[in-house]
Amino acid sequence: MDLANYKKVWKDQPEEKNKISSLEIYKMTQSRSISIAKWIFMIGLIEFIFWFFINYLATKNGVLKPYEELNLMTFLNYTNYLQYIVVVLFLLLFYRNFSSVSAVDNTKTLMKKILLVRKTVKWYVYYNLISVVVFSIILNILIFNSPNALSVLYNINSSSIDQTQMITIIIITQVVMIVLMLLILWLFYYLLYGILLKKLNKNYLELTKLSEI
């Protein structure tokens, strides 16, 4: 049978038997959306709060105490101010991108906008990861340039131990920890967003590929 005949079958199909009443439709409008955009927005918000808290706890819990003794507080304070400014900027961008998502757009634009909301969070996470690495490098340079650093930070009597060996061990430990952390985070994000955006990415690719014909 030809598709044109199927078109006729389609047109003749009876209307839905379980018609939804006005009252039911009204009730539905009052319920919460479970759309992918909303999910990404909520998860994104949690990520912002998570990274902000990690930062906040580090400063409040006395983790930074030894750095006071090494006169690194000005450096740490400025880094913190910078961090807050960046978080606010990212949050504004994130909210603006989310608000622009509208089901009235054409399909391609809509998908692009949803992916942009996700990308904002991705940039924020990248910013955090890169800043952790850069921050650690700068801090290490500053610490190891200070003569009494090891005794202040690790309670080690600097005369009783081979300093070069100690520094090597500390650096290797730090590198391993950072790589491990990055790996865990990558896996977490890969799974979380991979599952959530699989369908969207596939559809977006199909539509963009189409434009290249």
Partner 1 sequence: MQKELEKKFLNDFEKNQNIVHKVCRVYTTNQDQHNDLFQEITIQVWKNYSKFRGEAKFSTWMYRVALNTAISLYRKSTRSIKTQDFDDVSFKIKSIDYDDTKDQQLKALYTGIRGLSDIEKALIFLYLEDKPYKEIATTLGITEVNARVKMNRAKDKLKKSLNS
- Burial level of 51, CB count in 10 A (0-12/13-18/19+)? buried
CB of 103 to partner 1, least distance (A): 4
Tally of CB atoms within 10 A around 117? 23
CB of 94 to partner 1, least distance (A): 18
Q: Which is nearer to partner 1, 51 or 98 (CB)?
A: 98
Instruction: Please report, as ranges, the residues that interact with partner 1 according to CB under 8 A.
Output: 1, 3, 6-7, 9-22, 25-26, 28-29, 31-37, 39, 102-111, 114, 196, 199-200, 202-203, 206-207, 210-211, 213
With contact defined as beta carbons under 8 Å apart, do 133 and 178 qualify? yes
Residue 14: half-sphere exposure toward Cβ, Cα within 13 Å: 4
CB of 118 to partner 1, least distance (A): 12
Q: Which is nearer to partner 1, 102 or 173 (CB)?
A: 102
CB of 195 to partner 1, least distance (A): 10
155: left (phi over 0), alpha (psi -120 to 50) or beta: left
CB of 102 to partner 1, least distance (A): 6
Q: Which is nearer to partner 1, 40 or 150 (CB)?
A: 40
**Type of residue found at 35:** S
Q: Which is nearer to partner 1, 15 or 162 (CB)?
A: 15
CB of 148 to partner 1, least distance (A): 57
CA distances from 54 to 58, 60, 166, 198 (A): 6, 10, 28, 29
Q: Which is nearer to partner 1, 1 or 141 (CB)?
A: 1
**Angle between the N-to-C axes of helices 73-99 and 107-144, in degrees from 0 to 180, rounded to the nearest 10:** 180
Q: Which is nearer to partner 1, 77 or 203 (CB)?
A: 203
Maximum pairwise Cα distance, the chain: 93
